[in-house]
Amino acid sequence: MASGLSSVVKIESEEASFSPHIRIHNVVALARIKGPLRLDTRLLARKLKNVQYRGDLKNCFAVTFWFKDCSASATVFDTGSIRLAGAKSESAALTLMRRVVRRIARIIEEVRGFDKFRLVNTIGGFETRGFIDRERSYLSLARKHPATYEPELATGIKVKLEWLKVTVRIQRQSVQIFGAKRLGDLSLAMQTVMPLLVYVQEGGSYR
């Protein structure tokens, strides 16, 4: 488990002096609260601020925590599982998980921290060094990976990297990566796609 990670992961490209930057847009993580078999989510909904319950208060099965200092949220289920979304790094997700569990422990004394923390989806992207010729890039990518490009329906190329279980979407000057379970998979996806992109040069030439 990585810690102290920056929300920007810098990857050196061996193909050129240009060094792309992957910026993480969203980290989704899961964990499980240690302690009671069931959480009294109705009690949490009544006692805690900045918490929204699901269902009606009488049959409340989950509560969602909102953070004032960031756009992330954490949903805590009565089974003890936590789903956090909106963090910008793995370390930020861990920090927010700890904050949620500390607040719960003040209300439910049997709570003893959390375990089974794992990332389930990481979304990141980077800007390219020039304008991408999507039609030619699609032909290049489709020779090696399942890819679709339907400009009449969508402006981008969609590529599935099945060995990483991620989806890559390519626009004119940006690449977005969806579904990574590890931060390192973002790097591998970038390194796989970058050499296959075709760029438009000044004057309309290609490389």
pLDDT at residue number 21: 79
At the fourth CATH level, the homologous superfamily of domain 128-204 is TATA-Binding Protein (3.30.310.10)
Q: What share of the chain is helix, strand, coil (3-state, %, to 5)?
A: 25, 35, 40
pLDDT score, position 96: 96
The pTM of the full predicted model, rounded to 2 decimals, is 0.78
Query: What is the pLDDT at residue 150?
Result: 94
Q: Please tell me if the domain spanning 26-121 has the same topology as the one spanning 128-204.
A: yes
Place of tokens 């960031």: 70
CATH number of 26-121: 3.30.310.10
Three-class SS of 109-127:
CCCCCEEEEEEEEEEEEEE
Structure-token pair, residue 34: 């240690």
Ordered by start, the domain boundaries in the chain are 26-121, 128-204
Shortest CA distance to 128 belongs to which of 156, 163, 150?
156
pLDDT of residue 55: 64
pLDDT in tens, the chain (207 residues): 443 333 444 433 333 333 457 899 999 999 999 998 899 988 998 899 888 887 666 667 899 999 988 889 999 999 999 999 999 989 999 999 999 999 999 999 999 999 999 999 999 999 988 899 999 999 999 999 999 999 999 899 999 999 999 999 999 999 999 999 988 899 999 999 999 999 997 555 444
